[in-house]
Chain A
Amino acid sequence: MEFAELIKTPRVDGVVLHRPFLPTVEGTLCLTGHHLILSSRQDNTEELWLLHSNIDSIEKRFVGSLGSIIVKCKDLRVIQLDIPGMEECLNIASSIEALSTLDSVSLMYPFFYRPMFEVIEDGWNSFLPEDAFKDLESMTDEWRLSEVNKDFSVCPSYPPLVAVPKDIDDETLRKVATFRHGGRFPVLSYYHKKNGMVMMRAGQPLTGTNGRRCKEDEKLINATLRPGKRGYIIDTRTINVAQQAKARGGGIESEANYPQWRRIHKAIERSNVLQESLIKLVEACNDQSHNMDRWLSKLEASNWQTHVKEILTTACLAAQCIDREGASVLVHGTEGTDTTLQVTSLAQIILDPSCRTIRGFQGLVEREWLQAGHPFQQRCAQSAYSNSKPRQEAPVFLLFLDCVWQILRQFPCSFEFSESYLVLLFEHAYASQFGTFLGNSAAERAKLSLPEKTVSLWSWVNRHQEIERLTNPLFEANSLVIWPSVAPQSLLLWEDSQYIDVIYITIIIIIIILFTISKKYYYDINA
């Protein structure tokens, strides 16, 4: 298929672009296979380059012969293009619609994108499981790296290499995989250096209605307990939902079969509900009535902040079990690819200072989201403005980023990165020139040959210029566990990032000036 077939009008002059908080721009609109470009053709003016894959939905409006297209993006931006001429407008609109809803992954922009920068470090090799395991090996010898899933046959959503207890052989793992949803047998998620406690994650056990049991599963998770110690299983579903799952073959670890484990149910909402919640939240934010009662009741009805509170509370609980109770933890929900990952990754932000650095956070996103099999492509296919019926879409990753932002706001000096970093990850998860967030699992990524055919987001981020832009000037390494508050008064709404940016950049400039002065004197004195 040729992109040109879909482009009915490649160029229109005299188009006016309206963006919130920015002056309007008049210029030429061009459509290419992957981009909507608006250029005023003057020096020093910013051009608009919008990826078609970033477009969530469009609306057309006509006043006389002047048409307007309102483009609603997956990154929640809304822009308006005033296009002279009815026919041009209709053509542009239908072309955008066609180009933004291409189904085939291999037609996505990352496969066509060639970097304009020099790749110093290939991001595809920056976070290999074997490297992460080397760090673990330096702390403990109780774990091994298993290749049981090297051809993705045991668990299609797991990476080829996973860390498991040393005494558990691959044969046992294969048996456990048949007992866990999606073959997701318990694997190591985090090792708490301070007391040697661990956090594991898995899919739900497939006990079914007749209480099936799996000795190997019990053996595996018991192998992670110290003698005489008990552990906690954190189930991210309510007890009712978990019980109902039995009818569909799922279930819970019964106390009789897992006497050394205490099960705690903490309800976190699941995909469909979350998508609804995001749609309602964005609708409330865009409400033009400026009515306070309406805003607060819509905000409340969206339940977005309730989800943030639930997720943070559960992550705090997991971290508390590990750090305060000195107990190991197993986290799972149903599939173990959504709420489970929110909990395990946030618990690491709380417990592990290295996850609060720019590179450490990449490592966390790699380990706990990309390699752990969060289905990014399904979850991020549509965003809050989509008119089509949601299928697998859910802002699971966005909620995780929101929770990180909440902790960042409560500990503004403990993170090496600034809010812009979180915004950047959000944007690239939904639409990107990089291949990092394509596909739903390590297996799919391997099949698409992404490392060979596309550029990694990390290759771009981990360059001097970008790191500088994303660095939090207030950062001072804090080796402590950081406990966020989850009281409603403590949780804020993560507002329109573009507006905040203006203020934030001012702050950063001031800090940099102050820092430069201080440092200058410091070096003066030492010289």
Chain B
Amino acid sequence: MTLVLLFQVENVKLLDRVSPRRSRVGTLYLTATHTIFVENEAGVRNETWVLHSLVCSLEKQAATSSGYPLLIHCKNFQVLHFAIPREQECQDVHLSLQRLSQPESYEELYCFSYKPNVDDEERQNEWDFMNLKADYSRMGLPNAHWKLSPANRNYKVSDTYPADLFVPESATPPVIVGSSKFRSRGRFPTLSYYSKENHAAICRSSQPLSGFSARCLEDEQMLEAILRSNPCSDFMYVVDTRPKLNAIANRAAGKGYENEDNYSNIKFQFIGIENIHVMRNSQQKMLEVCELRSPSMSDFLEGLESSGWLKHIKAVLDAGIFITKAVAEEGVSVLVHCSDGWDRTAQVCSVACVLLDPYYRTLQGLMVLIEKDWISFGHKFSHRCNHLVGDPKEVSPVIDQFLECVWQLMEQFPCAFEFNERFLITIHSHIYSCQYGNFIGNNQRERIQLGTHSLWSYLWTNRTDYINPLYRPDHSQTQGLLRPSTAPYCFKFWRGLYNRFDQGIHPRQSVEDYLRTIQEETQQLEDPGGRLHWWIHHQQPLSAKSTRQQRPHPPAPGLEPDVHLQPLQQQRPRVGDCRLELSFTPQ
């Protein structure tokens, strides 16, 4: 592996956020893809690697006695505070990073230069690993009620929709095209999830272009067709996930929501989830709280409250529960939409899927779900995650909220999920890192996977890292529908993600690691060859396990939680393993 070294700065200080005493001195390397800080301390080669694509913002601060501070905020919530000895060097780093962290075209993204040692055929296999058709056949589709429609094969009907879509058997091409003309961005109602057991379906679309009084016969027929494809039910729900006021305001722009009088047998329901701008500001406020230096309990709780973050998470989960109840308990189909149908709609449909179907609570299932409801249905990853320099108003942590909803559910049902927290965090990091091709672009039509690798295949290959040792698919509590409590005290602050790099505040022993060790040992025991091997290496009772690691204790009690930076990527080389090609030398 070759790293292109742009330049390096000696005697840089990496400042500790909580305790200045624990700052470290080292060399800062700027390469074409990473910023690398290597600690000088004799004996240890502590390295901190940060991908340029993960850099969210840079801030130069007023000079202090330790040098010229540069504050780097990352999209994975890492915060790095460097102090650089000379002003000119600080300026160089700042300018270079500013350029490097804001690519202007897709070709500049890391996924096109990321070349692990894999040949082209294998790379192609990586992409073949994910097969959405298999998921639809798992649901029992196509069947007598639902068919695969070729209408959008060339992205002609809706350029942000996937090519393959399921529609009701009775929906004819003119109905589809007509309905799409009456919906924002042509996103007509189509199937997201189908319940084999009772024929109820979750469908999704964008808002209708109803304005104050417009109607569309084909759109009405489309909903009628969805209703008829569920023979057991005589009505369906239409769920608008926006606050009512926002939906009403949209009417003035010729958009809006369904009029119950025009559609036969629909029950219309608003669920107030706020828009992307509110969510962006809310997360920003919450992150400011996370970054407070030794806050009091009141500072923290007040900040958390005023950020509104948990309120929004609860709104998304509440919406998911509403749909779940309609589908599983009432056997009624639901059409979900928001404005464009790619943010809130994606959240709500996928949360409902996790609640409804145990398959989506497995490793593979969650990957399929993200591929289906997010990637294929055109969640605008590149805009929302700011992959390229663009409109800051398009950025919003919509996918973060989905991952957090899953995490909140995992906290309530620790035995119901095959994967662990690490799985969610790794997915989160790579949505932003641009290391894999999966999330590049804003929709299927735009997506170019040429030469890139797939995250799903990587996660699957390394699945042992992501298995939840408590997973019990056969337990009554984990089968079928999950019924979470939505009492506010059940919603917790996700320290593992938002304060992920502040290691001093995390539990120092992990139940999960412990169980994993036991499980591994048990597996070794069960395999006859392994038993002997185990016996040779463990001539001691199980209670004195040597394989388990105790996390380091901080030198001072909680008063000064110590911060260790932990590596983001698992398969990352060390500086020593790389050939550094010098392409720039500072004067």
Are the C-beta atoms of B508 and A410 separated by less than 8 Å? yes
The yes or no answer to B392 lying at the interface (CB within 8 A) is no
- List residues 480-527 of chain A with CB under 8 A from any CB of chain B: 480-493, 495, 499, 502-503, 506-507, 510-511, 514-515, 517-519, 521-522, 525
* Complex: A316 Cα to B124 Cα, angstroms: 56
The yes or no answer to A290 lying at the interface (CB within 8 A) is yes
| List of B residues within 8 angstroms of A300 by Cβ | 297-298, 301-302, 305
Are the C-beta atoms of B561 and A515 separated by less than 8 Å? no
* Complex: A517 Cα to B550 Cα, angstroms: 24
Are the C-beta atoms of B553 and A305 separated by less than 8 Å? no
* Complex: A317 Cα to B558 Cα, angstroms: 9
The yes or no answer to A409 lying at the interface (CB within 8 A) is yes
The yes or no answer to B525 lying at the interface (CB within 8 A) is yes
| List of A residues within 8 angstroms of B550 by Cβ | 478, 480
Nearest chain A CB to B425 CB, angstrom units: 16
* Complex: A306 Cα to B314 Cα, angstroms: 25
The yes or no answer to B403 lying at the interface (CB within 8 A) is no
Are the C-beta atoms of A483 and B556 separated by less than 8 Å? yes
Known contacts: A292-B311, A480-B553. The answer to whether A485 contacts B305 by CB under 8 A is no
* Complex: A286 Cα to B52 Cα, angstroms: 47
* Complex: A293 Cα to B475 Cα, angstroms: 35
13 of the cross-chain contacts (CB-CB < 8 Å) are: A296-B488, A300-B305, A320-B556, A414-B509, A485-B506, A486-B557, A486-B558, A488-B296, A488-B297, A490-B495, A506-B477, A507-B470, A511-B518
| List of A residues within 8 angstroms of B509 by Cβ | 410-414
In the complex, the chain B residue whose C-beta lies closest to that of A307 is: B297
The yes or no answer to A279 lying at the interface (CB within 8 A) is no
The yes or no answer to A342 lying at the interface (CB within 8 A) is no
Are the C-beta atoms of B504 and A492 separated by less than 8 Å? no
Nearest chain A CB to B212 CB, angstrom units: 33
The yes or no answer to B507 lying at the interface (CB within 8 A) is yes
Q: Pick the residue among A412, A491, A515 that contacts B511 (CB under 8 A).
A: A412
Q: Pick the residue among A297, A483, A518 that contacts B542 (CB under 8 A).
A: A518
Are the C-beta atoms of B470 and A410 separated by less than 8 Å? no
Are the C-beta atoms of B557 and A306 separated by less than 8 Å? no
Known contacts: A292-B311, A295-B489, A300-B305. The answer to whether A521 contacts B525 by CB under 8 A is yes
Report how many residues on chain A are interfacial, defined by Cβ distance under 8 Å.
66
Known contacts A293-B305, A294-B488; 17 further A-B pairs (Cβ under 8 A):
A292-B311, A292-B488, A295-B488, A296-B301, A320-B559, A482-B508, A483-B556, A485-B554, A487-B504, A487-B561, A488-B301, A489-B495, A502-B477, A507-B511, A511-B518, A514-B518, A518-B525
Chain A interface main SS type: helix
Nearest chain B CB to A175 CB, angstrom units: 36
Encoded as 1 (CB less than 8 Å from any A CB) or 0, chain B from 533 to 554 comes to 0110000011111001010011
- List residues 294-335 of chain A with CB under 8 A from any CB of chain B: 294-297, 299-300, 303, 305-306, 308-309, 312-313, 316-317, 319-320, 324
In the complex, the chain A residue whose C-beta lies closest to that of B493 is: A489
Closest 9 CB pairs of A and B: A295-B488, A488-B300, A316-B557, A296-B305, A486-B558, A300-B301, A521-B525, A292-B311, A483-B557
The yes or no answer to B173 lying at the interface (CB within 8 A) is no
Known contacts: A296-B488, A487-B294, A491-B297. The answer to whether A312 contacts B525 by CB under 8 A is no
Encoded as 1 (CB less than 8 Å from any A CB) or 0, chain B from 488 to 522 comes to 11111101000100101111111100110011011
The yes or no answer to A291 lying at the interface (CB within 8 A) is yes
- List residues 429-488 of chain B with CB under 8 A from any CB of chain A: 470, 472, 475, 477, 485-488
Are the C-beta atoms of B297 and A309 separated by less than 8 Å? yes
Known contacts: A412-B509, A413-B514, A488-B295. The answer to whether A313 contacts B489 by CB under 8 A is no
| List of A residues within 8 angstroms of B301 by Cβ | 296, 299-300, 305, 488
Are the C-beta atoms of B542 and A522 separated by less than 8 Å? yes
| Residue in A296, A317, A521 with the greatest tally of chain B CB atoms within 10 Å | A296
Known contacts: A507-B414, A522-B541. The answer to whether A483 contacts B489 by CB under 8 A is no
In the complex, the chain B residue whose C-beta lies closest to that of A410 is: B507
Nearest chain B CB to A267 CB, angstrom units: 12
| List of B residues within 8 angstroms of A481 by Cβ | 553
* Complex: A511 Cα to B517 Cα, angstroms: 12
Nearest chain B CB to A120 CB, angstrom units: 25
Are the C-beta atoms of B507 and A409 separated by less than 8 Å? yes
| Residues in A lying within 8 Å of B, measured CB to CB | 284-285, 287, 290-297, 299-300, 303, 305-306, 308-309, 312-313, 316-317, 319-320, 324, 350, 409-414, 474, 476-478, 480-493, 495, 499, 502-503, 506-507, 510-511, 514-515, 517-519, 521-522, 525
Are the C-beta atoms of B499 and A489 separated by less than 8 Å? yes
| Residues in B lying within 8 Å of A, measured CB to CB | 290, 294-302, 304-305, 308, 310-311, 314, 413-415, 470, 472, 475, 477, 485-493, 495, 499, 502, 504-511, 514-515, 518-519, 521-522, 525-526, 531, 534-535, 541-545, 548, 550, 553-559, 561
* Complex: A514 Cα to B472 Cα, angstroms: 13
Nearest chain A CB to B272 CB, angstrom units: 13
* Complex: A481 Cα to B553 Cα, angstroms: 9
Q: Pick the residue among B491, B492, B553 that contacts A483 (CB under 8 A).
A: B553
In the complex, the chain A residue whose C-beta lies closest to that of B415 is: A506
* Complex: A514 Cα to B339 Cα, angstroms: 50
Are the C-beta atoms of B507 and A412 separated by less than 8 Å? yes
Are the C-beta atoms of A485 and B304 separated by less than 8 Å? no
Nearest chain A CB to B238 CB, angstrom units: 24
| List of B residues within 8 angstroms of A299 by Cβ | 301, 489
| List of A residues within 8 angstroms of B548 by Cβ | 476
Are the C-beta atoms of A317 and B543 separated by less than 8 Å? no
* Complex: A287 Cα to B314 Cα, angstroms: 16
Nearest chain B CB to A164 CB, angstrom units: 29
| List of A residues within 8 angstroms of B295 by Cβ | 487-488
In the complex, the chain A residue whose C-beta lies closest to that of B504 is: A485
Are the C-beta atoms of A319 and B557 separated by less than 8 Å? yes
Known contacts: A476-B543, A488-B295, A514-B518. The answer to whether A320 contacts B557 by CB under 8 A is yes
| List of A residues within 8 angstroms of B531 by Cβ | 521, 525
Are the C-beta atoms of B561 and A290 separated by less than 8 Å? no
| List of A residues within 8 angstroms of B526 by Cβ | 517, 521
| List of B residues within 8 angstroms of A296 by Cβ | 301, 304-305, 310, 488
Are the C-beta atoms of A306 and B488 separated by less than 8 Å? no
Q: Pick the residue among B310, B413, B490, B557 that contacts A350 (CB under 8 A).
A: B557
Nearest chain A CB to B491 CB, angstrom units: 7
Q: Pick the residue among B522, B543, B555 that contacts A514 (CB under 8 A).
A: B522
* Complex: A320 Cα to B555 Cα, angstroms: 10
| List of A residues within 8 angstroms of B504 by Cβ | 485, 487
* Complex: A481 Cα to B413 Cα, angstroms: 32
* Complex: A477 Cα to B298 Cα, angstroms: 35
Nearest chain B CB to A317 CB, angstrom units: 7
Nearest chain B CB to A420 CB, angstrom units: 16
Nearest chain A CB to B162 CB, angstrom units: 35
Are the C-beta atoms of A483 and B472 separated by less than 8 Å? no
* Complex: A492 Cα to B492 Cα, angstroms: 8
Are the C-beta atoms of A490 and B557 separated by less than 8 Å? no
| List of B residues within 8 angstroms of A490 by Cβ | 495, 505-507, 558, 561
In the complex, the chain B residue whose C-beta lies closest to that of A502 is: B477
| List of A residues within 8 angstroms of B487 by Cβ | 290
Nearest chain B CB to A339 CB, angstrom units: 17
Nearest chain A CB to B372 CB, angstrom units: 29
Nearest chain A CB to B464 CB, angstrom units: 16
| Residue in B294, B305, B531 with the greatest tally of chain A CB atoms within 10 Å | B305
* Complex: A510 Cα to B470 Cα, angstroms: 7
Nearest chain B CB to A511 CB, angstrom units: 7
In the complex, the chain B residue whose C-beta lies closest to that of A294 is: B488
In the complex, the chain A residue whose C-beta lies closest to that of B491 is: A292
| List of A residues within 8 angstroms of B493 by Cβ | 489
| List of A residues within 8 angstroms of B472 by Cβ | 506, 510
| List of A residues within 8 angstroms of B534 by Cβ | 525
In the complex, the chain A residue whose C-beta lies closest to that of B296 is: A306
| List of A residues within 8 angstroms of B543 by Cβ | 476-477
* Complex: A492 Cα to B499 Cα, angstroms: 15
Are the C-beta atoms of A487 and B558 separated by less than 8 Å? yes
In the complex, the chain A residue whose C-beta lies closest to that of B299 is: A488
